[in-house]
Every structure is written in C-alpha cells, then in structure tokens.
Amino acid sequence: MTIRRRAIKNEQKQQRRQAILNVAWNMFQDMPHQAITINEVAERCGLAKGTVYLYFKTKEELFLAIQEQQFQEWLDAIDTELQTVETGTTIEQVATIISETLMQRPAMMRLLAILHSTIEHNIDYDVALHFKRMLHERLTQTGTLLERCLPFIPANDGPRILLHIYTLIIGVQHLADPAPVIQRILAEPGMEQLAVNFADEFPKTLRTLLYGLEQEIKRNNL
C-alpha cells in the first residue's frame, strides 16, 4: 500500500492514520509482534519512518490503537448478539455468543495476550488514559446487556463479570499459544495432556466461571 501524498486536511490525516493501522494489522496477522518494525510498516505504506512517528510515537502506541479498534469491533459483535436474545437467557447461550465471536478473531486474541505485558509498557499517560476510558465505557455498555440477559447478575456488576471473562481469555490464550520450544515439547509422546486448545478449553472454562458466579451470587443473597 502506497500513501505518499501529503496529508493536510484533518480528513486526509485520519485516512492516513487508518491506512497505517491497516498495514500494521495485516502484518501482525502474518508475523509475531516482535518481528514488526516501524521502519517496515513505513516502507509498506510508502512513507518515511518519521511520518509514521507523527501519528504514533512508539510501536506500542500503534498497536494499542489497533487493539482499541479490534476490541470495539468484538464488543460490537457481542452487543449485537446479546440484543437479539431474550431477558433471562441461559448461561449456555451467553457463553456460546462470547466464545464464537472470539473464535472469529484469533489475531485479536494474540494481540490481547500481549496487551498488558508488552504494549502498555511504552505509551504516554494520555494515550493510556484514552484507552482505559474507552475500555471502561464499552465494558459498562456490554455489561448492562449482560445483566439483562443473565438476571442473576446484580445491577452494575456486569462490567466486573466481563473483567473476569477478559482475564480468562488472556490466561487461556497464553496457554494455548506457547513458545515454539514448548510446542515441540508438547508434541512429544505423553505430553499431550499439557497442551491447551483454545477452542476446546475456553468455552468450557467460561461456562464453569459463569455457573460458579451464579451460585456465589445466590449464596450471598440468601
């Protein structure tokens, strides 16, 4: 992708910014984060490296912006599905919605797995604040829908339960995507029980989490 023409108007700058994000996102789907450089992103965009830095001060800031877009798209998909189900739906249905929308986004899960350990360690305060405010707003929005679908969830507890699910996603993803040397070890005879398949393990663990939270909330309300 070549976007050499100088961006002057705000609309042009937004288009250039999005073009840079698109190129970096496409690269991430084909290679690990550590292998991607701002220099190569710039080259694929047909820009000078310094031009990319006008939009994103660090590689981590660039990928945080990508994470924000992907996170918004994922939560939009969940919201759309939750809005179609009736009040008082089952845990099984909710777990299926969350799991299936995740399975459609394997690259987003890879990026999410390095969000806290890598990406958030080299960004400005204002950039981090913007991301966390977005996250808070979206978890509140989706959490409210979750409360409607699962009435055992107390009012205003939906965002907190989504944080539990968020934590679960990261944990299972780390286990399901080990380092190459660990993948070799897990391929050895007798080691298969240590291997984790996200598509198999996450839905089961999510259902266990939701059923456990349901029982805990009911006990606390006795």
Q: Where are the domains positioned within the chain?
A: 1-56, 59-220
- Work out the pLDDT band at 9, boundaries 50, 70, 90: confident
Q: What CATH number does domain 1-56 carry, 1.10.3720.10, 1.10.10.60, 3.10.300.10, 1.10.645.10?
A: 1.10.10.60
Q: Tokens for 29?
A: 């789907």
SS3 212: helix
- 59-220 belongs to which CATH class? mainly alpha
Q: How do residues 49-60 score in pLDDT, each as one tens digit?
A: 999 999 999 999
What is each CA distance from 33 to 8, 36, 104, 118, 171, in whole angstroms? 30, 5, 20, 10, 18
Q: How do residues 169-195 score in pLDDT, each as one tens digit?
A: 999 999 999 989 999 999 999 998 999
Across 41-53, average pLDDT = 95
149, 161 contact by CB (below 8 A): no
What is each CA distance from 74 to 51, 88, 107, 139, in whole angstroms? 30, 23, 12, 12
Supply φ then ψ for residue 89, to 5 degrees: -70, 175
Distance in angstroms (rounded) separating the CA atoms of residues 28 and 75: 21
State pTM to two decimals. Answer: 0.89
- pLDDT, residue 10, reads 84
Q: Among residues 170, 182, 179, which one has the least CA distance to residue 120?
A: 170
| DSSP code at position 6 | P
Residues 6+ apart with CB under 8 A from 125: none
Query: What does pLDDT average to over the chain?
Result: 92
- pLDDT, residue 86, reads 79
